Amino acid sequence: MTGKRQTGGRKAAKNTSPCLSLHVEPADDNRRNVDAEQFFTLAERWLKSLKAFASDSGHHVKWEIVELKKASAFVQVRPVEALTRRPLTSLVRGWDKGLRELQRSGLPPQGFTPASLQVLQEFVRAVPTDSTVTLGDGTRGKKRPFLVNAETQRRIEEAVAVASSAVPQEYSVRGKLRGRLAVLNSWNPEERSFRLQVTLAPGKPVTCTYRDEHLVNELGSGFEGVAEVDGLLHYRREEVWPHRAEVETIRVLAREQVTSLKDLVGLLQLPGGLDSVSYVRSLRDAD
């Protein structure tokens, strides 16, 4: 990759939908080549930050390379819905708008959670001191490219600090949760607990504790089946599903009451304008 400055390196690719671009060039010498290892490391962290932002926005996204220039260290990508391949214009605009608001205020912009801000911080920290890095949104010159500099790094650090202090590490709410009774530790009076395996997150079982010894009968009849628990649910910050529950009641569900995985296909076509995170939470908290 050469470090030759080219106006074409900052132009959007010829496509019908907005894209996001990363452009790197030497800050001190037009004739010096961009270091390939530095560029690919930076591009990887840039894409990681885009994926975190998309996830926070409730989108299941595939990223397509629209343009990759050899004459300069330039790459342009387009987010599309994983199933429909429909371009996500709002995601591109939200990302660009958020970056510019963050640069002005140093406050967490809409759509960026503490988790995605931390990933963004990792990206800007990887920017080489001897290179000029700009980000674009494919609007064909309507906006000036966003320059990533020392001020950007400082503003993002401020936003991360504000976001981390404003959001509690863990919170609790009363509610209901459905899942499969996977592991029982019911017979030890000092350790009345079991694990509930949520259908949409089988790799993250919820540890459930209880005090009422009469619940043992419900647990025994529902083992390896699907049950609904009601009680105090404990969540970690930025996680959709609880990691722990203090159970007050248990209801073993009949087969006809259980939503199958087949019924859950098509979560991207959500009712009522809900994003995927809100929809999953509605399923989780459903009566």
- Per-residue pLDDT of 108-120, as tens digits, reads 898 888 888 989 9
- 243-258: pLDDT as tens digits: 999 998 888 876 545 4
> Are 66 and 136 within 8 A, CB to CB?
no
- 219-241: pLDDT as tens digits: 766 666 788 889 999 988 778 88
| CA gap 18, 76 in Å, rounded | 10
> Are 47 and 77 within 8 A, CB to CB?
yes
- Mean of per-residue pLDDT scores for the chain: 77
> Are 245 and 231 within 8 A, CB to CB?
yes
pLDDT score for 10: 41
At 157, is the pLDDT very low, low, confident or very high (cuts 50, 70, 90)? very high
The answer on pLDDT for 31 being more than 80 is no
Q: Which domains does the chain have, with CATH numbers?
A: 7-166 (no CATH), 170-284 (2.40.50)
**156 sits in which H/E element:** helix 150-166
Please state the rounded mean pLDDT for residues 136-157: 81
- 158-187: pLDDT as tens digits: 999 888 776 666 788 888 898 888 766 655
Q: How many residues does the chain have?
A: 287
Q: In what order do the strands lie in the sheet with 61-69?
A: 61-69, 73-81, 20-26, 131-136, 146-148
| CA gap 96, 80 in Å, rounded | 16
Phi, psi of 248, rounded to the nearest 5 degrees: -110, -40
> Are 235 and 172 within 8 A, CB to CB?
yes
Strand pairing class (226-236; 244-252): antiparallel
Give this prediction's pTM.
Answer: 0.51
At 286, is the pLDDT very low, low, confident or very high (cuts 50, 70, 90)? low
- 258-271: pLDDT as tens digits: 454 444 444 444 44
C-alpha dist (Å) from residue 49 to 41, 116, 118: 13, 6, 9
- 196-221: pLDDT as tens digits: 888 788 788 898 888 887 777 777 66
